[in-house]
A and B are shown apart, each in its own frame.
Chain A
Amino acid sequence: MAGVMTIEEIRELLDLFNASGVGELEIEREGVRIRIRKAGATSEYTVSPAAETVPPRETAPEKASESEPGHTLVKSPIVGTYYDAASPGSAPFVNVGDAVETGQVLCIIESMKLMNEIEAEIAGVVAAKLVENGRPVEYGEALFSIRPR
């Protein structure tokens, strides 16, 4: 169909876009280009470079939330500060590639001056260490990716 998109077509496009999980969409058809971008939590859309309507929040560095297929994520059971060794300067509890047994200490999470040892719940190989030493972690944050045996 040649020419400008009708209002109905734009509305239909916006409805489809809105209902989808897509964050940004650009289509060009017959010389007409439309770019739609979702801003933050609100389903707000403009047919132009979108203005930020939700105030930007300090985003923490990209956190892993899903494991690769076949891997299990070890998630923090508490809020605190992550340490990968028993004390500053000593060797880390585990390194990438190490085999670990169930119950083996993987790291320490410090919470209110108490050191909590975090143990592996499955046996396998450490595929990735997901948090830098000394960084704060929240409940449920992914710490390690383990490839189960």
Chain B
Amino acid sequence: MFEKILIANRGEIAVRVICACKDLGIRTVAIYSEADRHSLHTRFADEAICVGPAKSSRSYLDIHAVMSAAEITNCDAVHPGYGFLSENAGFAEVCETSRLKFIGPPAEVIRRMGLKQIARAAMEENGVPILPGSLGILKSPEEAVEIAERIGYPVMLKASAGGGGRGMRVVRQPEEMGPLMAQAQAEAAAAFSSGDLYMEKLVENPRHIEFQVLADQHGDVEILGERECSIQRRHQKLIEESPSTAMTPELRQCTADRLRAAMKAVGYANAGTVEFLMDASGKLYFIEVNARIQVEHPVTEMVTGVDLVKSQILIAGGKRLDEILTRPVVLRGHAIECRINAEHPETFVPSPGTITGLNLPGGAGIRVDTAAYQDGVISPYYDSLVAKLIAYGSDRAEAIARMQRALGMFVVEGIYTSIPLHQRILKHADFVSGKIDTGFLSRHGFLADKK
């Protein structure tokens, strides 16, 4: 097992990884930018190295600086956390050649899973449903209509050469195809010098469902159930839960079986998440693989009893899944996570600053993952996550009740937080009855800016 691990991250996930290392008796090295000099993660690591100025590109994202820090402290492994360098195949490769064990999938797997076409093909070959689309560039409106009939309306026309909303049109009926294709082509040609379009099924107000993967370095893969992350604003998740109220045991089993096969086929190792959209009829469509540990991993930990970060370290150290998990992996109870952000709960304006008063909730079924502390500073340079508040109950109702209690006892003074927003969401009848999808916040008027 490793003797010393460098945590190439900051904030709550750095603290999380330090916790797992402490549990395993492994020494830790924290890295920090000048802005994070007084950060909590630097205080609980055995050693801490300043790697650069506040700007991420010159500190947490600076591969040279991170590698040098690992070198001068004689680390034998590095945990990349999430974000930053966690899905940077180049970084994983540099670690491999420097004989510093990267705690995650092999560099080549990270690279391939990051390529949309390769990931989709791997899924499709193993029976995992993917978002239907045209196989290539649309040659004519007639062909487009044919494909749309096959896929099912509504469909989205997209510019092959670009994105950002330009050259995109939603088509709901065959009669619209001709004129809308022409418009999209013209727009695309103007923006990207190419009018080439392709087509994808449009899932409106989908539910966001993702499956947790844990694989060892010996070819064994396990799926640890699903999470639902439909409460989002601008594609940023606000509330996550496990299990999903929209999941049936059959769909869970069937999807898990196919994902197991797909991930084995791509040679996956360590932790990962496979993301899906679910349409109104309950059908799943694969969108992408995230080859790293995710922010919302605690809800899976609560319902499965598996310590995912500790498992990552053990897997990277060569342990087999059978030594880490008891199988079959069963989901027990219900867990919900609220991402408490430093922002105004109604206007969403960021609220960096000093935390002048802090009371973290506790009690039955409550877990808080945070790097915040009284007199600590939420700086403007990084994400606005103050804490992850996780509530666990024997069922969803108990989890919701516990979460409400904890939100009410979570005191943060000196900055605005999203706590009042979470309280309002959790009270909403549709949330309580599980009638949620990615349009929830907008539909129910939580977004003052209507985005």
What are the residues of chain A within 8 A of B34 when measuring CB–CB?
A: 139-140
Name the interface residues of B31-70: CB closer than 8 Å to any CB of A: 34, 38, 43-53, 59, 64-65, 67-69
Q: In whole angstroms, how far apart are the Cα atoms of A112 and B72 in the complex?
A: 9
Choice from A54, A58, A78, A81 contacting B47 with Cβ under 8 Å: A58
Q: In whole angstroms, how far apart are the Cα atoms of A75 and B280 in the complex?
A: 59
- Closest CB-CB distance, B50 to chain A, in whole Å? 4
Interface string of A69-92 (1 = CB under 8 A from B): 000000000111100000000000
Residue of B nearest to A55 (CB): B44
The answer to whether residues A79 and B47 also contact, given A43-B375, A112-B68, A138-B69 and a CB cut-off of 8 A, is: no
Q: Chain B CB within 10 Å — which of A79, A80, A137, A138 has the most?
A: A79
What are the residues of chain A within 8 A of B59 when measuring CB–CB?
A: 139
Number of A-B contacts (CB under 8 A): 60
Contact A42 B68 (CB under 8 A): no
Interface string of A16-51 (1 = CB under 8 A from B): 000000000000000000000000111100000000
- Closest CB-CB distance, A39 to chain B, in whole Å? 12
Interface of B is mostly: mixed
Interface string of A118-149 (1 = CB under 8 A from B): 00000000000000000011111100000000
Contact A78 B64 (CB under 8 A): yes
The answer to whether residues A79 and B49 also contact, given A43-B374, A138-B69 and a CB cut-off of 8 A, is: yes
What are the residues of chain A within 8 A of B50 when measuring CB–CB?
A: 79, 138-141
How many chain B residues touch the partner (CB < 8 A)? 26
Contact B43 A57 (CB under 8 A): yes
Residue of B nearest to A60 (CB): B47
Residue of B nearest to A82 (CB): B72
Residue of B nearest to A40 (CB): B43
The answer to whether residues A112 and B71 also contact, given A42-B373, A43-B375, A139-B52 and a CB cut-off of 8 A, is: yes
Q: In whole angstroms, how far apart are the Cα atoms of A138 and B47 in the complex?
A: 12
- Closest CB-CB distance, B6 to chain A, in whole Å? 11
Contact B47 A57 (CB under 8 A): yes
Q: What residues of chain A have their CB less than 8 Å away from a CB belonging to chain B?
A: 40-43, 54-55, 57-58, 78-81, 111-112, 136-141
